[in-house]
Amino acid sequence: MNADKERGLLCIWTDIDPEHELDFNRWYDREHMQERVAIPGFQSARRFAAAGNCPRPYLALYYTDGIDTFHSDAYRTAFANQTAWSLENFKRMRGTQRRVGRLSLEQGEGEGGALALFVVPEDALKQPGVKDQLRQRLTGVTGEDHVIRATLLETDTALSTPVTADAKPAPADALVMIEATRAEVAQQHAQALSQSLGLPSEEVYSFQSLWRLAS
CATH label of the domain that carries residue 162: 3.30.70.100
Helix or strand or coil: residue 178?
A: strand
Picking from 90, 78, 80, the residue whose alpha carbon sits closest to that of residue 42 is 78
> DSSP E strands: which ranges in 17-108?
42-50, 58-64, 93-108
Q: In this structure, which amino acid lies at residue 78?
A: A
Is pLDDT of 2 > 50?
no
Within a domain: residue 35?
yes
Within a domain: residue 124?
yes
Within a domain: residue 182?
yes
Query: In whole numbers, what is the pLDDT of the chain averaged over residues?
Result: 96
4, 64 Cβ separation under 8 angstroms? no
Within a domain: residue 163?
yes
Percent of the chain with pLDDT over 70: 98
Q: How many domains does the chain have?
A: 1
Q: In this structure, which amino acid lies at residue 8?
A: G
Within a domain: residue 1?
no
Domain of 118, in residue numbers: 8-214
Within a domain: residue 175?
yes
pLDDT at 4: 64
Half-sphere exposure of 68 (CA within 13 A, CB side): 6
Within a domain: residue 3?
no
pTM: 0.96
The H-assigned helical ranges of 70-182 are 73-80, 84-92, 122-125, 130-141
Within a domain: residue 2?
no
Is pLDDT of 104 > 60?
yes
Query: pLDDT tens digits for 5-28?
Result: 899 999 999 999 999 999 999 999
